[in-house]
Amino acid sequence: MIFQLFRRLARAARQRRGMAIDRAHACAALAALALLAGCSAYRPGGLDIDRSKQAVSQNSRVEFIVLHYTSASNDTSLKILTERNVSSHYLITDHPAPRVYQLVDENRRAWHAGVSAWYNSSNLNSASIGIEIVNPGRRGDGWAPYPPRQIQVLAILLKDIIARHQIKPFNVVGHSDIAPQRKTDPGPLFPWKALAEQGIGRWYDENLARRFLAEFAAQGLPDMVWVQKELRRVGYAAPETGMLDKATRNVLAAFQMHYRPRSYDGNPDAETLAILKALP
């Protein structure tokens, strides 16, 4: 009887020791897993960067939107913008239901603006989003119109980009605005005024322009020093020659395509200068 009791006590002691060993093994296994997890996140030469805090003093690097026409068909435009030494962030086709392609991430630089200037900025590729719109551009003695559906899609895209990057109205521009010596896109048929009525881009006070037009009719036109200075005030890279030279005519023509597309001959007529003076 005593011998049987001794055997039961011995068996219970062995079971308790086994449980303790199992618990020890489990703890060791968990520790090993934790160590392995830590090792799997380690990269030789890497850093453990804490991104839990963000500064309030920051904004987007994107300051401008530059609009272009492609002068090519949908397929050709897509091929050029993806395979050659030129690109844009977005391409909008001219299909009946236009398709929007994103070809370059907004955080990366697309090669669309080239040699360019706007206000005090140059090399606008570094701080802009480029949007190419499929449109033939100049066609004989005229220009190809933009389909209404294509402009509707463009407006949706523009509103989204403007809101996300807080882009100022005067920084929504055409390629001809930032490179007036060599570019004409998006051309005189691009609907700048219609977009401005939707809150996209900059437009002038038409009542104020009529008042300035009357003043110029009564007092005569200002000189070219004034004209060039005003063009620079509203963003254009105008010469400082004080003369109506070819470069100044090109800038005036770009301005007219944007704000007075009915006539864009590059002459500083009273209507053009009244609009220029009325532009904020």
Closest C-alpha among 265, 274, 251, 129 to residue 205: 274
Q: Is 132 a catalytic residue?
A: yes
Find the length of the chain: 280
Alpha-carbon torsion, ordered 219, 224, 225, 230, to 10 deg:
80
CA 103 to chain CA mean position, Å: 12
d(CA 140, CA 149): 24
Using DSSP's 3-state secondary structure scheme, residue 173 falls into strand
CA 4 to chain centre: 88
Query: Which among 63, 83, 106, 132 is annotated as catalytic?
Result: 132
Q: Which residues contact residue 123 at a Cβ distance below 8 angstroms, ignoring those fewer than 6 apart?
A: 113, 115, 116
Q: What angle do CA 111, 160, 73 make, to 5 degrees?
A: 50
Cis link prior to 44 (omega < 30° from 0)?
Answer: no
Residues that are catalytic: 132
